[in-house]
Structure 1
Amino acid sequence: MSSSKKEQSPEPPSLIPLLPEDIIIDILSRGRWCDYRALSLVSKHFRSLVASHELYARRSLLGCTERRLYVALSNRETTSHNPYILCLEANDNHRLVLIPWPTHVPHVGSFVTVGSKIYAFDMLNRYHHLPIPSIDRRFQTVHLVHCMNATMDVSVAGVIDWKIYVTGFTKIPWDTSAKMVMAVFNTETQIWESATETMIGRPYGCVVMAAFVSPMAEDNISDEAINLMAGKMYTRDARNSFVYDPKEGKWETDKRLNMFKWEGGCVVDDVLYYYDIRGGKVLRAYDPRKSSWVVVKGLERLVADGRFSESYYTGSCDGKLVLFFSKDRRIKGIRSAQISLERRHHQGRSEILG
């Protein structure tokens, strides 16, 4: 072997693993949550640190909070569902990061945030006889609350004034119709209040307009949840749209809202948004104060890019609307767009620009 060919000296080892563990945790806690997934692949040691209770306790102590949007994605080939977090990059190069999820917490269902906790309700309510899991996002720990005091076939949930309203339906014997049932969980007392039967219907997608705001809330979740506007809950079944006023304790129908078969919607600043895949593939907005629908303008290019997509979904994060849609029927992948919204009044009419 020629003497000119010298063996390359190995790269010096990283000094971080040589530091005391409490110092490593202090360094990691100041980083971005979205980078933890990559750090967990470095070594088993880093994997254990990223999953440790101490790391999240340190982040909470330092006040390291981030806006995060949780997304559940399904694989049509394997029928599996996995939870991700959408990381919003400064250069608009957003990415979905797979996150660890407790095995006994549903991957698919209705999720609501109250303070620092995520409450998970199985969409089909197959486990209504079991305690309801709640995840503390600060420490990545799971706690169990009392099982629901009502049996319902499908459950969707929303939050108003620290109370979780869970709505589903029960089948009526000797009848093809179903009766809606509501159960209320008080997150402050951790007690389920009395369940009530409400009206005939089968809720399959809900929105709560007048979105619940918590002093500790830092995350949003994209799911099939109740939507809140003006302190009321909005839901629909295959035929009708309904409004529930918790102060009055009663449901009413909303004919204007029922003009379109909205689903997969979300609320931003007390306005309901949903992507109408059946009616021209446009983003529609419903203002409950004016009981009126408008088409969001300025999204023509975005709509054109997604014209071959089969599925769409909306979410809200940091006061903006996030639109998810598949690339097209043949290509696997998800696109996302973060949309800023602006209301304008033009010639006596209100319009929304995106």
Structure 2
Amino acid sequence: MSSKTRSTKEQSSEPPSLIPSLPEDIIVEILARVGRCYYRKLSLVSKHFRSLVTSHELYARRSLLGCTEHTLYVVIYNKEKLNHQFYVLGRKANGNHSLVLIPSLSNMPRMGRFVAVGSRIYEFNRLNSISIDCRSQTVHLLPNMNVTMTSVSVADIIDGNIYVTGYCNNPLKQVMTVFNTETQMWEPKKTTPETMDGYMMWPGDCVVMAGKMYMRDDINSFVFDFDPKESKWEANKKMLNMFKWEDACVVDDVLYYYDCGWEVLRAYDPKESSWEVVDGLEELLAEARFSVWSYTGSYGGKLAMFYSKKTGRTKAIRCAVISLERRQGKEIWGTVEWCDDVLVGDDFYVVKSLDVIF
């Protein structure tokens, strides 16, 4: 028997692949039940699979099945290369966690403010605002703003509307506009708090709790709150002014931030109008006190705390994911679920973390 004939028989004896022969709706049904951590490998099977794992039909089915997952995207500034890059938090084969660079999103200028809505990330700046579809890692330009801004200071979301605040010149003043994520259009501009007791308002940080926006002045530590239902700003006279919170996040309508001066994780509950210190994190915060910067972000109902770490000449970003619970009324306790060096190498710091759901 010739080698050519033998080769043909060997090939014909191989069992055919079953999955490609299945109807496409059945394949989608199977993939919808598979964890997204496997989608990257599945995309290497074929061009067909690569298109399926980014398809609208697959994620619509995942949503109906309740199989959506939280994924943490992180914008990082590299102080040595002087650029901003997008990373995604993943898990390595050994069980540890790491930040993985997204090459397709690594070379875009990052001068604005970021907001995550479902499976999309929005970036707003004075020139070309964009949205990023995290399922396909594709970038889309948004319509031009209906106001002129020389810089964007803060942006956050309430009930599907993203409120974008910035400055315009001649004369220097604050302006606010609203982007509707359903219609993908800009709505009429809103009023902003420009002064308080004769001082110009300079927003330094912004959070949303219980449907209201809280904006902190970066210089004078004043806090204003905005109620979109009444479209009215008010000076916040409550205890939210007590600390100069920054790089804060909100989990279950409670504000959290790391107070590096006192080396504690603070929490503010607007219902109680009170500050608390989160207990149970002594070991973690003892290590974080040597960090030159820190950042807190919400992640699937938990808190992700980033801080810098240096061992000899090696620099790294360390991340801890913390679950939170109330005990005996007002007490809040934190439990560190894991803590890993997620990025090792150059001189980095975290600009923004974004909890994306898809």
Q: Give the shorter-chain TM-score range.
A: 0.7 to 0.9
**Is this contact kept in 2: 1:72–1:108, CA < 8 A?**
no
Q: Contact 2:84–2:106 (CA<8 Å) still a contact in 1?
A: no
The residue type paired with residue 283 of structure 1 is L
In the TM superposition, 1:1-354 aligns within 5 A as 32-34=35-37, 52-57=50-55, 59-60=58-59, 62-63=61-62, 65-87=68-90, 93-102=96-105, 106-107=109-110, 109-122=112-125, 125=126, 127=127, 130=128, 132-152=129-149, 153-171=151-169, 173=171, 178-200=172-194, 201-207=201-207, 228-238=208-218, 239=220, 240-255=222-237, 256-277=239-260, 279-328=261-310, 330-345=313-328, 350-354=330-334
Return the letter of the residue paired with 2:130.
P
Letter in 1 for 2:159: D
Deviation at 1:32, TM superposition (A): 4.8
How many percent of aligned residue pairs carry the same amino acid?
A: 54
3-state DSSP class of the match of 1:147?
Answer: coil
Task: Please give the root-mean-square deviation of Cα atoms over the aligned residues, in Å.
Answer: 3.4
The answer to whether the 8 Å contact 2:223/2:235 transfers is: yes
TM-score by length of 1: 0.73
- Compare the two structures and name the one with the higher strand fraction: 2
Q: Deviations over 1:62-85 (max 9, x none)?
A: 526321011111111111221111
TM-score if structure 2 supplies the norm length? Answer: 0.73
- Structure 1 position 265, deviation (Å): 0.7
In terms of mean alpha carbon deviation, does 106-115 or 252-261 score higher?
Answer: 106-115
Report how far residue 328 of structure 1 moved. 3.2
> How many Å separate the matches in 2 of 1:22 and 1:109?
47
Q: What stretches of structure 2 of length at least 5 have no aligned partner? A: 1-13, 195-200, 335-358
The one-letter amino acid of 1:136's match is: D
Structure 2 counterpart of 1:81, which letter? Answer: H
Relative contact order: is structure 1 or structure 2 higher (C-alpha 8 Å, sep ≥ 6)? 2
CA distance in 1, matches of 2:141, 2:204: 25
| 1:47 shift after superposition | 10
Q: Which amino acid aligns with 1:111?
A: F
Aligned-partner Cα distance in 2 for 1:320–1:91: 23
Q: State the distance in 1 between where 2:69 and 2:217 align.
A: 35
Alpha-carbon displacement from aligned partner over 1:150-195 (angstroms, at most 9, x marks no partner)? 122124211111111111223464xxxx532110112223321111
Q: Cα 1:20–1:343, aligned 2, differ >3 Å: closer, same or farther?
A: closer
Tell me the number of residue pairs that the alignment of Structure 1 and Structure 2 aligns.
301
